[in-house]
Amino acid sequence: MSAALLDGSAEGIAAAVRTGRISARAVIEATLERIAARNAKLGAFTDVLAERALARADAIDAARAKGEMLGPLAGAPFAVKNLFDVKGLPTRAGSKINRDLAPAGEDATLVTRLEAAGAILVGALNMGEYAYDFTGENAHDGPSRNPHSLDHMAGGSSGGSGSAVAGGLTPFSLGSDTNGSIRVPSSLCGLFGLKPTYGRLSRARTFPFVASFDHLGPLARSVGDLSATYDAMQGPDVGDPAQADKPVTLTRAGLDEGIAGLRIARLGGFFARGGEAAAYEAVECVAKALNATRAELPGAEIARAAAYLITMTEGAALHLDRLRERAGDYDPDVRDRLIAGAMLPGVWTVRAQKYRRQFREEARALFRDVDVLLAPATPCRAPKIGQRTFVLDGRELLVRPNLGFYTQPISFIGLPVVTVPIWTEGVKLPIGVQVIAPAWREDIALRVARALEREGVAKAPVADFSA
């Protein structure tokens, strides 16, 4: 099997399988070989499901031999952050403690839906413990490494999701995003990532972090794959009480409609300070390509602070019993933040939630005048693994909580975002830009990302492993 096909898109693999140019078994065998060859360097996978994946591939090949119609993702391999339930595996959520849980009795809803579309699950992926992380470093399983420079962070908490896709192990993966955990690794690893509107995709049978902010979504090397996988995962599910009662809105057919008539603006104020020059240069590159104007979203700094408070208190409430019984089995960085959250006055969280409503109204008002907003995804390119602090705007800050500097205000109000990867000639690490749309308009954000991809402004190449 050609490396080019593995390095390509899920849609490309599916087209080859549907037409018989290659068998699904050959795709999965080659994928498993690549995982075996590269994962020791990347730290992306914590579990590889070879037997399950090969059985699924054989079933797809048998269906094709019978003349049955195959799904849009037929034979395409994927993997999921290990907070997704996978039948037969304990849902570890990056932790030591959860390894003692009984194996999951069934797959998460989104896994089931992707497999119904023909995709093949090949494993579960490394992540920051209990998703409380932006670095991709795990105290129990080791770090997920950035495929473009192995001594740099993949970003978190969906670090393995970013590492697997940028490393060419799978064409797409699933992650979660509470405060930025799809968008940060997409930025640092040079991928397209979609955080849908809060309540759009089912979270059923996944391990939670902060119920008020938890989102699930895909990371991929092409916008077409983002759109196709997003479409396959839509639909109502009584298993997630927070899921909105919204009709399925397919995006793939309209992906190439272009951006004519869209009013696009880059955000200033909070989103134009506090980061390194690379973050603003990337936004400028995208803004220039899209003829973007400028706009302000008042209150973003307060929104980030409020998101922090809600994250701390909800996270602490979820873990309080485990903290009392097994505090020593936590990553100390995670444990200390959870304990701090348990000590916050309840009135602070009430005020933060009230501000959430106010900030949502500010965003709605802004979207009366624009259709799309642009902002940095991270304040810098990927820091080095083990790096504890960085200097931003003359201040020394902790890396772990501050890589999500620009993502937190957006997930605070659940807006849909596509992160697009931007590269600078001669620089080995990318950085991302957030393409932000109004609630329930994932289609607009995807169209803008597709236009940038088509023009060569944004791209997501597989890291070079030839050396």
Give residue-wise pLDDT tens across range 405-430: 999 999 999 999 999 999 999 999 99
pLDDT tens sequence across 316-332? 999 999 999 999 999 99
Strands (E), 138-200: 172-177, 192-195
| CA-wise closest residue to 25 among 465, 33, 106 | 33
Active site residues: 81, 157, 181
Q: One-letter amino acid identity for 109? A: T
Report whether 127 contacts 94 (CB < 8 A).
yes
pLDDT computed for residue 143 by the predictor: 98
What number is the average pLDDT over the span 123-136?
98
Structure-block tokens of residue 244? 């909105």
pLDDT computed for residue 364 by the predictor: 97
pLDDT tens sequence across 272-307? 999 999 999 999 999 999 999 999 999 999 999 999
Specify burial of residue 272 (Cβ count, 10 A radius: 0-12, 13-18, 19+): middle
3-class secondary-structure state, position 172: strand
Please state the pTM of the whole predicted model: 0.97
pLDDT computed for residue 212 by the predictor: 97
Structure-block tokens of residue 237? 């599910």
Report whether 72 contacts 82 (CB < 8 A).
no
Q: CA 127 → CA 169, 213, 296, 324, 402, distances in Å? A: 16, 18, 34, 23, 17
pLDDT tens sequence across 360-379? 999 999 999 999 999 999 99
pLDDT computed for residue 330 by the predictor: 98
> What count of residues does the chain have?
467
Using alpha carbons only, give the angle 397, 83, 164 rounded to the nearest 5 degrees.
Answer: 75
DSSP H helical ranges for 275-370 = 277-290, 300-326, 332-342, 346-366
| CA-wise closest residue to 217 among 34, 64, 446 | 446
Q: How far apart are CA 161 and CA 175, in angstroms?
A: 6
pLDDT surpasses 90 at 14: yes
DSSP string, 46-113: EEE-HHHHHHHHHHHHHHHHTTPPPPTTTT-EEEEETTB--BTS---TT-SGGGGSPPBSS--HHHHH
Q: What confidence category does residue 391 fall into, taking pLDDT thresholds of 50, 70 and 90?
A: very high
pLDDT surpasses 90 at 466: no
Q: What confidence category does residue 467 fall into, taking pLDDT thresholds of 50, 70 and 90?
A: low
Q: In whole numbers, what is the pLDDT of the chain averaged over residues? A: 97
Question: What is the percent of the chain with per-residue pLDDT over 90, rounded to a whole number?
Answer: 99
DSSP string, 392-434: ETTEEEEHHHHTTTTTHHHHTTT--EEEEEE--TT-SS-EEEE
Structure-block tokens of residue 239? 């298993």
Region for residue 130 given its phi and psi (left: phi exceeds 0; alpha: psi -120 to 50; beta: otherwise) = left
pLDDT computed for residue 223 by the predictor: 98
pLDDT computed for residue 83 by the predictor: 98
What number is the average pLDDT over the span 42-71?
98
Quick one: which H or E segment has residue 14? Answer: helix 10-19
Q: How far apart are CA 156 and CA 378, in angstroms?
A: 12
Kindly state the DSSP code that residue 391 receives in the 8-state scheme. Answer: E
DSSP H helical ranges for 77-222 = 109-116, 159-166, 183-189
pLDDT surpasses 80 at 155: yes
Q: Which residue has the tokens 């896709």?
A: 165
Across 96-118, b (16+ Cβ under 10 Å) vs e yields bbbeeeeebeebbbbbbbbbebb
Q: What confidence category does residue 465 fall into, taking pLDDT thresholds of 50, 70 and 90?
A: confident
Phi, psi of 122 (to 5 degrees): -110, -5
DSSP string, 34-55: HHHHHHHHH--EEEE-HHHHHH
What number is the average pLDDT over the span 98-121?
98
